[in-house]
């Protein structure tokens, strides 16, 4: 048997056994690794619990001590086709034994151009989309900001409260989901104006949808464009179709359309940051399709490569007109990553987008049933398999249950379910799109127990 196939078989996991926790966590090997990591790794990382992942298959992760976890994280919405999907592994191995790197900025090779063609074909809209390849979400955002300035000749950007677009100086200027991400780094890129997002559960203006007539959109025209900046100075609106790190916030159905038509009125570009919401996760290839909006520029990363490193920018042909040398990099469009993306897209088109829509609807409905029994759950929201529950101490006042959200996440981990918080008091679920109904049920049973445990402690 070929070495590659042998390694693949040796690392197989029996998914049907998960979750399976054999010892109090972290186990001995995990504890040793956490200590080693603490000694040599930057303290800026934000580990929520001591998971030391060893291998993964489908929707299951095995840690270094042999414990099996149901994975509702997918490595933060990245491993969309499941851990080590055999076809993605095959595509990676094949390309890795052919050509690993050749600097796509300066030279040509097949995987890069073929992937650009495929991305252009699947992108919404009439006009041809051109592609630039970065390596990460933040790099895609940086490139999109440069492109918007280059094309419009304007300097400023509008971004949103609780947004997350990355941590380099341009994207960080847009990011405002946590002050720890920004503290000590001033000044970032100048010219960013932040406005409230369409977050109806916590409307910044204390209004109610739909009677509000989307005041959060008209506020930009009435206040920002009247008193803070002339719209002619604004290059682009940068927005997540569904906010990710900020709390899995789903805006109302007509929100993005209203923003887009306002942007068009003033010649402002509309940049959809689909880094977390894109590539099938929400039950459509791009989350903006739920809103019937065609963005001028789309940024991608995370789930597009099933865990391989890539961060493309897609832009209308009439916008991506920058001259040779105006933007580039060394590793963007790496051939191995490109082949992983092409295989990922094939799998999405062959059924995983549909599966995300169907299983996501089931997941959401089961969470709504849990909400009936658990006072802590203030709101259940999401599309496809991008789902969040917002925890509150009191459903009337909506006081944020921050501590409780973290406790639930910890207990889930101890019982073999991997979840992550986002925003101050939200627990997010972004499992691999291959997750089965049985696996969803197993995970939700653990979540149910964890919520009961935390509520029991509070005397509810």
Q: Which residues of this protein are in contact with ligand PLP, per CB under 6 A? A: 136-138, 141, 164-166, 240, 244-245, 273, 275-276, 301
By beta carbon distance, the residue nearest ligand PLP is 137
Question: How far apart are CB 78 and ligand PLP at their closest, in Å?
Answer: 9
Question: How far apart are CB 306 and ligand PLP at their closest, in Å?
Answer: 14
**Smaller CB separation from ligand PLP, 63 or 273:** 273
Distance CA 324, CA 217 (A): 37
Question: How far apart are CB 164 and ligand PLP at their closest, in Å?
Answer: 5
**Smaller CB separation from ligand PLP, 112 or 276:** 276
Query: By the 8 A CB rule, do 82 and 432 touch?
Result: yes
Query: By the 8 A CB rule, do 329 and 105 touch?
Result: yes
- Strands, E assignment, 28-136: 53-57, 60-63, 68-71, 129-134
**Smaller CB separation from ligand PLP, 78 or 84:** 78
Question: How far apart are CB 67 and ligand PLP at their closest, in Å?
Answer: 26
Question: How far apart are CB 77 and ligand PLP at their closest, in Å?
Answer: 8
Tell me how crowded residue 159 is: count the other CB atoms within 10 A of its CB. 23
Residue 441: closest CA among 371, 366, 379: 366
DSSP letter at 305 equals G
**Smaller CB separation from ligand PLP, 171 or 439:** 171
Distance CA 319, CA 150 (A): 9
Instruction: Quickly list DSSP for 363-415.
Output: HHHHHHHHHHH-TTEEEEEEETTEEEEEEBS-TTT--B-HHHHHHHHHHHHHH
Question: How far apart are CB 351 and ligand PLP at their closest, in Å?
Answer: 25
**Smaller CB separation from ligand PLP, 238 or 380:** 238
Distance CA 246, CA 178 (A): 8
**Smaller CB separation from ligand PLP, 67 or 299:** 299
Query: By the 8 A CB rule, do 332 and 116 touch?
Result: no
- Strands, E assignment, 184-229: 192-195
Question: How far apart are CB 258 and ligand PLP at their closest, in Å?
Answer: 21
Contacts of 460 (CB under 8 A, 6+ apart): 375, 376
| Length of the chain as a residue count | 460
**Smaller CB separation from ligand PLP, 301 or 376:** 301
**Smaller CB separation from ligand PLP, 275 or 408:** 275
**Smaller CB separation from ligand PLP, 299 or 425:** 299
Question: How far apart are CB 310 and ligand PLP at their closest, in Å?
Answer: 10
Question: How far apart are CB 382 and ligand PLP at their closest, in Å?
Answer: 15
**Smaller CB separation from ligand PLP, 345 or 420:** 420
- Between the alpha carbon of residue 274 and those of residues 33, 212, 351, the distances in Å are 34, 27, 20
Question: How far apart are CB 244 and ligand PLP at their closest, in Å?
Answer: 4
Torsion 346-164-139-287 (CA) sign: positive
Question: How far apart are CB 276 and ligand PLP at their closest, in Å?
Answer: 4
Burial-class residue 16 by CB neighbours within 10 Å (0-12, 13-18, 19+). exposed
Question: How far apart are CB 452 and ligand PLP at their closest, in Å?
Answer: 31
Query: By the 8 A CB rule, do 435 and 358 touch?
Result: no
Distance CA 457, CA 7 (A): 46
**Smaller CB separation from ligand PLP, 425 or 430:** 430
Q: Is the peptide bond before 187 cis (omega within 30 degrees of 0)?
A: yes
**Smaller CB separation from ligand PLP, 237 or 275:** 275
Q: Is the peptide bond before 247 cis (omega within 30 degrees of 0)?
A: no
Residue 312: closest CA among 151, 168, 136, 92: 136
């Amino acid at each position: 048997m070929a070495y590659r196939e042998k390694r693949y078989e040796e690392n197989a996991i029996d998914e049907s056994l998960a979750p399976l926790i054999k010892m109090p966590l972290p186990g001995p090997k995990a504890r040793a690794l956490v200590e080693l990591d603490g000694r040599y790794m930057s303290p800026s990382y934000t580990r929520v619990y001591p998971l030391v992942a060893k291998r993964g298959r489908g929707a299951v992760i095995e840690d270094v001590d042999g414990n099996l976890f149901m994975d509702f994280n997918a490595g933060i919405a990245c491993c969309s086709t499941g851990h080590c999907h055999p076809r993605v592994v095959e595509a990676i191995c094949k390309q890795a034994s052919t050509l690993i790197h050749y600097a796509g900025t300066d030279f040509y090779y097949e995987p890069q151009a073929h992937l650009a063609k495929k991305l252009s074909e699947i992108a919404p809209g009439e006009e041809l989309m051109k592609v630039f390849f970065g390596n990460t979400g933040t790099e895609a955002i940086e490139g999109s900001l440069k492109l918007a300035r280059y094309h419009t000749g304007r300097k400023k950007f509008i971004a949103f409260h609780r947004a997350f677009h990355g941590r380099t100086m341009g994207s960080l200027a847009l990011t405002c989901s946590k002050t720890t991400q920004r503290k000590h780094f001033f000044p970032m890129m100048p010219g960013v104006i932040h406005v409230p997002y369409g977050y109806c559960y916590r409307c910044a203006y204390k209004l109610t949808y739909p009677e509000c007539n989307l005041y959060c959109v008209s506020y930009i025209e009435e206040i920002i464009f009247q008193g803070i900046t002339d719209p002619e100075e604004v290059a682009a609106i940068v927005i997540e179709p569904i906010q990710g790190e900020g709390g899995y916030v789903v805006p109302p159905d007509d929100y993005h359309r209203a923003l887009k038509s306002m942007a068009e009125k003033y010649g402002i570009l509309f940049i959809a940051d689909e880094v977390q919401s894109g590539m099938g996760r929400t039950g459509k290839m791009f989350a903006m399709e739920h809103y019937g909006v065609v963005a001028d520029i789309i940024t991608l990363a995370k789930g597009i490569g099933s865990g391989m490193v890539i961060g493309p920018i897609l832009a209308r042909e009439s916008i991506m007109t920058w001259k040779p040398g105006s933007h580039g990099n060394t590793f963007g469009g790496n051939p191995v990553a490109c082949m992983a993306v092409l295989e990922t897209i094939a799998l999405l088109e062959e059924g995983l987008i549909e599966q995300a829509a169907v299983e996501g609807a089931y997941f959401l409905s089961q969470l709504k049933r849990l909400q009936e029994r658990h006072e802590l759950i203030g709101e259940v929201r999401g599309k496809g398999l991008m789902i969040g529950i917002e925890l509150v101490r009191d459903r009337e006042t909506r006081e944020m249950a921050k501590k409780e959200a973290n406790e639930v996440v910890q207990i889930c981990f101890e019982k073999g379910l991997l979840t992550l918080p986002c925003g101050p008091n939200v627990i997010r679920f972004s499992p691999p799109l291959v997750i089965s109904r049985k696996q969803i049920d197993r995970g939700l049973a653990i979540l149910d127990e964890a919520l009961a445990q935390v509520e029991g402690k509070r005397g509810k």
